[in-house]
Amino acid sequence: MEMVGKLAGVSQVTVSRALNDPSKVSKATMAKIQEAIAATGFVPNALAGALASNRSRLISALVPSVTNITHAAMVQSFTERMRSHGYQIMLSETGFDSKEEEALIGAHLSRRPDAMMLTGARHTPAARRMLLAANLPTVEIWDVTDTPIDLCVGFSHVDAGAVVGRFAAEQGYRTAACVTAADERALRRKDAFCAAFHTETSVRPETVVTEGQASLRSGREGMSTLLDLGFKQGVVFCSSDQLAHGLMIETRARGLRTPEDIAIIGFGDQDFAAHTLPALTTVRVDRVELGSRAADALLGRLEHGDAPQAPINIGFEIIRRDSA
């Protein structure tokens, strides 16, 4: 900062003031300081600033997968809103292992973030204890619960599965199946779908749980398993659009038609869903709104001291296209 001050023709104190609160220096002085910073390559010590102010301006964000496009859209919206208010995101991938999430929560808390975003509302008891003891503004997204740690923005996975089950029965399908990834939120949707379809039709759907993250490959393998079990007529609900797309490919490869022989319903309404052949019927969750609402809830707590609010349920809707 001393070198920056000499180049800009101001004191080191003025440089510090400009970096910490630009509103306290004139635009002309700020321009000189910025020119000097660019010339020297100076990077302010954020850690020292955090120790002095007790604010890191860092927000921790934990998601199951950084490559999953469902989470990506949500995180992008969240990140853009937080950055517009001067916060930076520290992102980690938890997978679908609650113990891994617990370890990462501890690691992130040790970096003293100002707030934390978590995916889902089910955590280990140890993770909940750490978060409650930290007394940190925390938002849980992609789920709703009556017992949030602090803030909660999402939708009911049980309701989503049940609505799809009733929808399938209302469309006249009398046999059904579910192909799902193994994460606990997808399994809740699967159980609710099966229960609702059974209530409406007295028929219990077949289920296939795939390993690893959802992909075209696991979707094709899930459809192959269903066909080997003798499922050749009815509707299949998938835990993601990626799985559903894989099912559609395998169905066509086996000489079966969608939806005439096997109807397929996805989950997520990804960008490609409207452009598959046939276009994919799916469940839409507004991921951009979810990320923005989560950021707004945190910003209210961080900048205005707002009290925790009731869980925000953004809901979902079935987008009916040609595949079911």
Task: Give the pLDDT of the chain (324 residues) as one tens digit per residue.
Answer: 788 888 889 998 888 888 777 788 898 998 998 888 888 777 666 555 544 545 779 999 999 988 777 788 899 999 999 999 999 999 999 988 899 999 999 999 998 999 999 999 999 999 999 999 999 999 999 999 999 999 999 999 999 999 999 999 999 999 999 999 999 999 999 999 999 999 999 999 999 999 888 899 999 999 999 999 999 999 999 999 999 999 999 999 999 999 999 999 999 999 999 999 999 999 999 999 999 999 999 999 998 888 778 999 999 999 999 999
Q: Please give the CATH topology (third level) of the domain spanning 157-284.
A: Rossmann fold (3.40.50)
Residue count of the chain: 324
What's the pLDDT score for residue 305? 85
Looking at the chain, the domain(s) classified CATH 3.40.50.2300 span 56-155+287-315, 157-284
What's the pLDDT score for residue 46? 55
The helix/strand/coil state of 209 is: strand
Which residues have CB under 8 Å from 122's CB, separation 6+? Answer: 98, 143, 145, 184
Q: Which residues pair with 152 in a beta bridge?
A: 140
CB 147 within 8 A of CB 182: no
Nearest to 185 by CA among 112, 94, 254: 94
What's the pLDDT score for residue 65? 86
CATH class in words for 56-155+287-315: alpha beta
Alpha-carbon distance of 307 to 299, in angstroms, equals 12
Alpha-carbon distance of 254 to 238, in angstroms, equals 19
What's the pLDDT score for residue 213? 83
Alpha-carbon distance of 286 to 144, in angstroms, equals 15
The helix/strand/coil state of 233 is: coil
What's the pLDDT score for residue 51? 47
CB 177 within 8 A of CB 208: yes
